[in-house]
Amino acid sequence: MAILTLETATFQERSTSLKRFIVKDAVFKNLTFAAALLVLSILFGVFLSLIIGAWPAFQTFGLEFLTSQSWNPVTEKFGALAPIYGTIVTSLIAMGIAVPVGIGIAIFITELCPPSLRKPIAIAIELLAGIPSIIYGIWGLFVFAPFLQSHVQPAIISLFSGVPFLNDLFAGPPYGIGMFTAGLILAIMVIPFISSISRDVFETTPSVLKESTYALGATTWEVIWNVVLPYSRAGVLGGVMLGLGRALGETMAVTFVIGNAHKIAASIMAPGTTISATIANEFTEAVGDLYTSALIALGFILFVITFIVLAIARYMLSRLEVKTR
Amino acid sequence: MTMYTRRLTKNRIWLGLSMGAAAFGLLWLVLILGTLIWNGVAGLDVTVFTRMTPPPGGTGGLLNPIIGSLIMTVLAILIGTPVGVLAGTYMAEYGRYARLTFIVRFINDILLSAPSIIVGLFIYEIIVVPMGHFSGFAGAIALAVIVIPVVVRTTEDMLLLVPNTMREAAAALGSPRSFLIQRVIYRAARAGIITGILLAVARISGETAPLLFTALNNQFWNVNLNAPMPSLPVVIFQFALSPYEDWQRLAWTGALIITVAVLSLSILARALTAKGVER
């Protein structure tokens, strides 16, 4: 009899604790599920809030917002063409420099560098990506721009002064600040992104492929050009798109050195503006709902552009992950 | 034979160029850190950490923005980490093969590199406008939105590294799923998850753009989360672009402090993963 009550007691204890665990399990599972949904809802929240905020501007200006380059807070006439142009030009300058340099660094680290130096150099390059963008900004404004103004820009301007087309592209005077300087600083910021992803994908090239090409008598460069690069093309492209996404959206570094001029100049030496720099500079000072709305509309355009670029980047990189598995 | 020499020359030129690219990359790191130390150390003394930001022409330090940055960073981590860890747990444990996981991973990766100024606009729309004023709270939420994708990514990666045999062993002992995850899996992946949090701290301590129109700035001592709050990056932005030399000098010092903090955090995070996770 005594044994039986004891057994019932343990049984009851067990079933209550089991029930407790069932509840705990359900709660925890649903919590994690809710958190995962929250991540999704952040993205939709961003889209939705930007659309709502930008609505007055889109309603007032329509498609003209994308094609007009006037930006006049007094008469409340706003067009996004100049910032969009500046964003694209600075990013193109940055990618033009960062893509070859980034891939070059990756080649150096994976194929040429003595193994003992590999890690330190890779970490040093990645530290460049860790430096906050405001540091690039203050350095660009006080150190890099004056240096370009006194040493580099005059030389470039006089070098191309006689050449048709190029003399417009590199027309003076040398301000120091401007789209050229912003593009160069963006290039420095983007290099580590491209080089570290390229390095990762270069390392996935099977050694058998490389070794057999060497055995056929190929030089190191021929192995890189004919085996490593074709094999890792998608991944490198993903890295480049990721870098482009960063360059398009970078704010602080550009804001310091772009010059904030709402005009489209033929010369890349001239001051300009980008979408993010315009928002950073003018948002807190914007008076009137239409002005604020126009700035949010700029933000919406930037978000759409970077979303597309980053989606392509992730698509390229995810295909790669499937391949290496 | 000429063909052969041509190939060799081409080889040498291209390899030389890639070596040059590496030197070019390292050069910038040295130049930036060099000028930063050169300009920042000059103004670095105790008063920087003990006095408030000065009016133009006065003397002072960076105490209030440093405290503001610390408060907002801690708050952002406290808000962002649980969400990130839980979402990462869903992706690696409950929904490892679910369609939702693929979508969340894709979206999360995009959020990870989305322009931070957009986050500032988003928080402005959903918090600053309804509240009617800028606040340290809004700044912390904006930073939390940046923390979440970083933590989600590292948590998922680290949980996936935990061997399945460990899950099976714990399940065979009769432990329920939630118990198994909290007591076994989290412990096994602890170093990795902490690394993710450190990386998130490093990421947000230098963020300026999302704070510009959420936390705004404040020249005075403020620990009230309901009022505009100063932060180190925003003060650097304001001081560097000012015409006053004392302000510019303080901006350099602040820049040095941030960079040292951020770089040592990311090196610490790296050391932690190197030790904690055997690859």
* Interchain CB distance below 8 Å, B117 and A311: no
Q: How far apart are CA A275 and CA A218, in angstroms?
A: 47
Strand partners, A77: A72
**pLDDT band at A4, cuts 50/70/90?**
low
CA angle B129, B133, B135 (to 5 degrees): 110
- CB of B5 less than 8 A from some CB of A: no
- Residues of chain A with C-beta less than 8 angstroms from the C-beta of B82: 35
pLDDT digit string, tens, across residues A276-297: 999 999 998 888 889 999 999 9
pLDDT of residue A49: 95
Find which of B107, B199, B218 to mutate to test the A interface (most A CBs within 10 Å of its CB). Answer: B107
- This prediction has a pTM of 0.91
Chain B closest-CA separation from residue A100 CA (Å): 8
* Interchain CB distance below 8 Å, A192 and B91: no
Alpha helices in A160-225 (DSSP H): 166-169, 179-202, 207-215, 220-223
What is the DSSP annotation of A46-105? Answer: HHHHHHHHHHHHHHHHTTHHHH---EETTTTEE--HHHHHHHHHHHHHHHHHHHHHHHHH
- Residues of chain B with C-beta less than 8 angstroms from the C-beta of A279: 117, 121
- Residues of chain B with C-beta less than 8 angstroms from the C-beta of A195: 25
Q: Do residues B185 and B88 touch, judged by C-beta distance below 8 A? A: no
Q: What is the mean pLDDT of residues A190-211?
A: 92
The minimal CB distance from A32 to the residues B89, B233, B248 is found for B89
* Interchain CB distance below 8 Å, A134 and B237: yes
Q: How far apart are CA A218 and CA A216, in angstroms?
A: 6
pLDDT of residue B1: 63
Higher per-residue pLDDT: B271 or A37: A37
pLDDT digit string, tens, across residues B61-77: 899 999 999 999 999 99
Which chain B residue shows the shortest CA-CA distance from A247? Answer: B115
Q: What sign does the dihedral B115-B117-B120-B122 (CA atoms) show?
A: negative
> Is B29 among the domain residues?
no
Q: What is the mean pLDDT of residues A225-229?
A: 93
Q: How far apart are CA B95 and CA B15, in angstroms?
A: 46
Task: Report the mean per-residue pLDDT for chain B.
Answer: 90
Burial (CB count within 10 angstroms: exposed 0-12, middle 13-18, buried 19+), residue B84: buried
Task: Report the mean per-residue pLDDT for chain A.
Answer: 89
> Is B247 among the domain residues?
yes
Q: Is the pLDDT of residue B215 over 50?
A: yes
Higher per-residue pLDDT: B272 or A49: A49
> Is B82 among the domain residues?
yes
Q: Rounded to 5 degrees, what are φ and ψ at A77?
A: -110, 115
Q: Is the pLDDT of residue A308 over 70?
A: yes
Q: Rounded to 5 degrees, what are φ and ψ at B53?
A: -65, 135
Q: Rounded to 5 degrees, what are φ and ψ at A71?
A: -140, 90
**pLDDT band at A146, cuts 50/70/90?**
very high
**pLDDT band at B277, cuts 50/70/90?**
very low
> Is B24 among the domain residues?
no
Count other C-beta atoms under 10 Å from residue A182's C-beta.
35
**Closest listed residue to residue A291, CA positions, set A53, A49, A78:** A78
Half-sphere exposure of B228 (CA within 13 A, CB side): 15
The complex's ipTM works out to 0.90
Q: Where are the domains of chain A?
A: 64-324
The minimal CB distance from A131 to the residues B89, B107, B259 is found for B259
- Residues of chain B with C-beta less than 8 angstroms from the C-beta of A127: 29, 263, 266
pLDDT of residue B232: 93
> Is B248 among the domain residues?
yes
- Residues of chain A with C-beta less than 8 angstroms from the C-beta of B122: 45-46, 49-50
Chain A closest-CA separation from residue B175 CA (Å): 9
CATH architecture of A64-324: Orthogonal Bundle (1.10)
> Is B41 among the domain residues?
no
Tokens of B9: 């020359």
Least trusted range by pLDDT, from A2-6, A250-254, B214-218, B269-273 = A2-6
Alpha helices in chain B (DSSP H): 2-41, 46-50, 63-89, 99-113, 116-123, 129-131, 136-161, 164-172, 177-180, 186-188, 190-205, 209-212, 232-240, 245-276
Strand partners, A72: A77
pLDDT of residue B174: 87
pLDDT of residue B59: 81
Find which of A103, A128, A131 to mutate to test the B interface (most B CBs within 10 Å of its CB). Answer: A131
Residues 20-79 of B with CB under 8 A from A: 20-22, 24-26, 28-29, 31-32, 35-36, 39
pLDDT of residue A325: 42
> Is B2 among the domain residues?
no
pLDDT > 70: percent of chain B: 97
H/E stretch holding A237: helix A233-249
* Interchain CB distance below 8 Å, B87 and A39: yes
pLDDT of residue A322: 57
DSSP reduced 3-state for B108: helix
Report CA dihedral (B196, B201, B203, B205) to the nearest 10 degrees.
180
Kindly give the interhelix angle for B136-161 and B63-89, rounded to the nearest 10 degrees: 40
Tokens of A169: 């592209």
Least trusted range by pLDDT, from A117-126, A256-265, A312-321, B161-170 = A312-321
**Closest listed residue to residue A216, CA positions, set B7, B9, B14, B6:** B7
pLDDT of residue B201: 94
Q: Do residues B258 and B35 touch, judged by C-beta distance below 8 A? A: no
> Is B169 among the domain residues?
yes
Which chain A residue shows the shortest CA-CA distance from B179? Answer: A25
Q: Is the pLDDT of residue A5 over 70?
A: no
> Is the bond preceding A173 in cis, omega lying within 30 degrees of 0?
yes
Q: How far apart are CA A21 and CA A23, in angstroms?
A: 5
CATH number at residue B193: 1.10.3720.10
Chain B closest-CA separation from residue A202 CA (Å): 14
The minimal CB distance from A128 to the residues B28, B109, B126 is found for B28
Total of domains in chain B: 1
pLDDT digit string, tens, across residues A50-81: 999 999 999 999 888 888 888 888 888 898 99
Chain A closest-CA separation from residue B248 CA (Å): 9
- Its domain, for residue B224, covers 65-278
Find which of A21, A24, A46 to mutate to test the B interface (most B CBs within 10 Å of its CB). Answer: A46
Tokens of B221: 């001592």
